[in-house]
Copies of this chain bind each other. A is one copy, B any other.
Amino acid sequence: MQTVDEILKIKKVKNTAVRTVVLRYLLNQEKAQSLKDIKNALVYSDRSSVFRTLKTFEENKIIHSIHDGSGMVKYAVCAEGCNCDLKDLHYHFYCNNCNKTFCLFDIPFQNIKLPNNFKIQQANMVVKGLCNNCNK
């Protein structure tokens, strides 16, 4: 796995204190995290600083955001080599029980045939149900 420094360098984003801790935290998570999750995990940090950091990361394709319907936008680190192009689209799974959101990197994204003259640019695909932990 790439380090914080490597990622920031590749994506040409200046390394700062807040960016380092936020990205390091996100790299260590299996699930996508909300602003609140991150703020709570990094007790000493400021909400708006984290917010702006996430915006910066998203603009520079270090992370992607997921609208899972929970009311809070969640963020996850992009896979290595991701450019947030169509080829990088993937499904997400939201667990109705534990409220966690997973990136399903392993499930191929099927090209759906849109109506005439519609053009796909991005997608927000969220499958909801019970995750392996909660489906018992």
Contact = CB atoms under 8 A, between A and B. Distances in A.
Identical copies of this chain, number: 2
A70 to B, nearest CB: 9
Given A91-B112, A107-B114, A112-B91, A120 B124 contact: no
B93 A124 contact: no
Contacts of A69: 67, 124
Contact of A126 (B93, B113, B123): B123
Interface residues of A, number: 32
Interface stretch (A21-29, A30-38, A39-47, A128-136): A128-136
Given A126-B125, A128-B124, A93 B118 contact: yes
Contacts of A113: 107
Nearest to A135: B119
A120 to B, nearest CB: 4
20 contacts: A67-B67, A69-B124, A91-B112, A96-B122, A104-B115, A107-B113, A116-B132, A117-B132, A118-B130, A118-B132, A119-B130, A120-B128, A120-B129, A122-B127, A122-B128, A123-B126, A123-B127, A124-B124, A124-B128, A125-B125
Interface of A: 67-69, 91, 93, 96, 104, 106-107, 110, 112-132, 135
